[in-house]
Amino acid sequence: MHAATASPIAKEALDRIGQLYGVEETINGAASDHRRREHQQRSKPIGEALALWAEETVRKLSRKSELAAAFRYMRARWPALVRCFDDSRLALDNNPAERALRGIAIGRKNWLFAGSDAGGRRAAAMYSLIESAKLNGLNPQLYLADLLARIADHPAQHITDLLPWNWQPGDATAPPPELAPSPSAYAQRRLSFKSAEAPSLVNDGFGGFDHYSRARRP
């Protein structure tokens, strides 16, 4: 909007929001306690000043203007926008999630149907596991192969041990996730399939996810 109208109000809004991102740049990847402390001490006052300024400014704008609509949009979603100040697990925006969905958006023309509502929910669960593995620096294919090989015998009360941010390779002597291990039990079972066209959960359904982010969960 600022580029289209050169509005000084829009520029000030961008500058104020830019201050929040300036804080994020200094704490990105930091420990959870440090992120929360910096959010409370630095980000929260900036956010409060932005909210107050927006409240005063929107009264001076025509209700029909695009700028007023942008201010109303921000104010209506304010609790969600500032939630990251109290919960250090959250990012200032959802850009990482949107980037993670690009592979799905690009590939959806190739898989128009999930088969059923239940199939769609299962696909969403798989997408979530794959992207969470990538955000925690894991190779999704190796993580899922190990997960499927172990989950049947894993104690239910310790199921959280298998979540991407807690997961450790089943074999303590196994190489790091970036290195290809010897065939897992899951891979060996796949070799026993009689059909040469047996689908692969990882390679065939999610082959587009081949860029692994090094970002880690706080």
Residue 6 to residues 9, 57, 60, Cα–Cα distance (Å): 9, 17, 17
**pTM, to two decimals:** 0.55
Name the DSSP class of 183. Answer: P
Residue 110 pLDDT more than 60?
Answer: yes
What are the boundaries of each domain within the chain?
2-93, 119-191
- Per-residue pLDDT, averaged over 80-90, amounts to 90
CB-based burial, 84-112: b 16+ in 10 Å, e otherwise: bbeebebebeeeeeeebeebbeeeeeeee
Residue 183 pLDDT more than 80?
Answer: no
Residue 89 pLDDT more than 60?
Answer: yes
**Binning pLDDT at 50, 70 and 90, where does residue 85 land?**
very high
Q: What is the pLDDT of residues 21-48, one digit of tens each?
A: 999 999 988 898 999 999 999 999 999 9
- Per-residue pLDDT, averaged over 14-25, amounts to 94
| pLDDT (0 to 100) of residue 38 | 95
How many C-alpha atoms does 206 have within 13 Å on its Cβ side?
Answer: 24
* DSSP secondary structure of 41-63: IIIHHHHHHHHHHHHHHHTTS-T
Residue closest to 46 by CA, chosen among 88, 84, 87: 84
Q: Which amino acid is at 30?
A: A
CA 13 to CA 18: how far, in whole Å? 8
| pLDDT (0 to 100) of residue 3 | 52
Q: Which two tokens stand for residue 53?
A: 């300024």
| pLDDT (0 to 100) of residue 1 | 52
